[in-house]
Amino acid sequence: MAKSNSTRRRRHSREIVDAKEAVDLATAQSYSENVFLFVPNLIGKLPPILYHPVYCTLLYGVSCLLDAVDGMAARALGQTSKFGAVLDMVTDRCTTSCLLCYLSTAYPQYSLFFQFLIALDFSSHYMHMYSSLVTGSTSHKLVTSEVSRILWMYYNDSRTLFFVCAGNELFFVCLYLMKWISTPSGLPFLEKWTYPELLAVPTFFIFALKNIINVVQLWKASKILVGVDLAERAAARVEASRKTESDEKQ
């Protein structure tokens, strides 16, 4: 109960900014503190060129590497922002979705599966972000082990986060390159396999882990939102009961 009250106090102590006031502040922001131009918000936002294997792979790789350092840059430069956190998540989802849309055309027999992955990726991250907001969290990465141990391990260790995300993206890149590269590797016992095919095997297990995490994230976020609904409905019933008692006494 004390923990619940403490959480409630933290939520109410946060300053609430009116939407119109926020728009005016963003419009009038100075060049020296323009959140849109913060260095971390400009890092790693490279769109993929899906119809050229060399350019696509290079840009995708650079984008993923820069995505790993934008958080460190934000903290080092004192440029952390809510806009940057959301922008980072949105651009990641959009970039991955673009690649999955291409893979749907490259592997039409698996198009429904790739569509499912897009839907799971967007829904799990949106639900997780929204559940973080309604519970008063300052970041979607602040997950406690009491809520979910697997999400806690995923978000609270930057090395694990990078390894899983990079491995997942690398698996998709391998699928992409498999449509362009047909030259055998020539390696002993694996001479008929191409390099993208060889790399796709180990990264498949990371891809599987990432999507298990997405499912857990979606389920936990759904339970949090339902729990918030139940708490608000219970509070409304108590308030209605108090009002009824007050009216009867009068």
By annotation, the residues acting in catalysis are 92
Q: How would you classify residue 14: left for phi > 0, otherwise alpha for psi between -120 and 50, otherwise beta? A: beta
Q: What is the CA radius of gyration of the chain?
A: 23
